[in-house]
């Protein structure tokens, strides 16, 4: 049973849950922040409270936060079973890859060759981290 907990498959499943929820959360939040606009400008015009109000009254932002909460509790669960030096970098780095794809598809960001190359480097980096 103990061996099962620490098997590569279990670790992969826990990391996959963190990554999926984090990607949904990141895309929703990034989309919300794009909709709201530059927070520095809003703060300059409406003050800090105005900037906070602009963020917390956005529905898309709350959907993103809900997905991030799922990701957070998945992280807590994973940390109680696996090493921090595996879970934290692997989940964070895989999220970069899934976010690159999601950024291109859903947010229509200009993902040029440089950003794809970076995502590829992260992929190899994660493979090395998981060894």
Four-CA torsion 43, 49, 51, 54, nearest 10 degrees:
-150
Contact flag: residue 14 with another protein (CB under 8 A) = no
Contact flag: residue 117 with another protein (CB under 8 A) = yes
Contact flag: residue 66 with another protein (CB under 8 A) = no
CB 78 within 8 A of CB 87: yes
* CA distance linking residue 18 with residue 68, whole number of Å: 9
Q: How many CB atoms lie within 10 A of CB 128?
A: 9
Phi and psi at residue 79, to the nearest 5°: -65, -25
- In this chain, which of 11, 15, 17, 26 binds another protein, going by CB under 8 A? 26
Nearest distance from residue 91's CB to another protein, in Å?
Answer: 10
Contact flag: residue 71 with another protein (CB under 8 A) = no
Residues of this chain that bind another protein (CB under 8 A): 5, 26-27, 29-30, 33-34, 36-40, 55, 72-73, 75-77, 79-81, 83-85, 88-89, 92-93, 95-96, 99-100, 102-104, 107-112, 114-115, 117-122, 124-129, 131
């Amino acid at each position: 049973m103990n061996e099962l907990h620490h098997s590569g498959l279990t670790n992969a499943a826990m990391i996959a849950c963190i990554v999926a929820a984090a990607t949904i959360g990141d895309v929703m939040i990034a989309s919300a922040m794009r909709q709201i606009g530059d927070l520095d400008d809003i703060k300059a015009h409406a003050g800090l409270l105005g900037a906070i109000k602009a963020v917390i009254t956005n529905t898309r932002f709350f959907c993103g936060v809900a997905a991030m909460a799922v990701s957070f509790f998945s992280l807590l669960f994973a940390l109680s079973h696996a090493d921090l030096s595996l879970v934290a970098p692997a989940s964070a780095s895989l999220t970069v890859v899934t976010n690159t794809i999601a950024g291109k598809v859903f947010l229509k960001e200009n993902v040029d060759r440089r950003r794809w190359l970076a995502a590829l480097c992260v992929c190899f980096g994660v493979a090395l981290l998981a060894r």
